[in-house]
Chain A
């Protein structure tokens, strides 16, 4: 079946521009996560949605970062007034379960998209 998809795959922005990154999770997946991966590092958590509700945004690095999932499926990560330090790969992941529910692997496993590589010049 279809996995998690993200678009665009690559984005080049001039410093100060706004960008919008899209994530299409696996159909029916309740949980959606955004992560940021700097070069040579592991991904770092940005924010979490359970259906349309944004329940945790503790990882967002500044108020220039905004995420939404208005209908509980597709999500958009928006970065306003981009800075050079925003250059990274942005990964989206989805899982079947709601956070907080115990369950087996099939519910808890996070599936990742290919990522969007953002370069800010």
Chain B
């Protein structure tokens, strides 16, 4: 079974710190990988999408990398702010999925302390 794993499950950091969230997946044959943010009681907000042929994507203070051969992605958040507090979800569209449906990790719950 294809799986996506996120470590750690929860992370608490002081404001201003740079941090890295980790995502690993069991099959290197993927279409793309997306990072999402989910606030309590809300839907998912797409942060970054990395295509299979790409190594990284950047948006503002966020940088996501992809290493298909090792089955890993990282989300780097620079100069964290209290407003970054949320659950961050990694999701992979495996090539075996005809619908390009996403397989999600369980998320990392981030708390940025003021």
Contact = CB atoms under 8 A, between A and B. Distances in A.
Interface residues of B, number: 27
Interface of A: 4, 6, 31, 33, 35, 40-45, 48, 55-56, 59, 91, 93, 99-100, 104-105, 108-115, 117
Interface in B64-114: 89, 91, 93, 97-107
Nearest to A33: B101
Interface of B: 4, 31-32, 34, 36, 41-46, 49, 51, 89, 91, 93, 97-107
Contact of B104 (A4, A40, A44, A104): A44
A102 to B, nearest CB: 8
Contacts, number: 76
A42 B91 contact: yes
A43 B102 contact: yes
Contacts of B34: 109-110
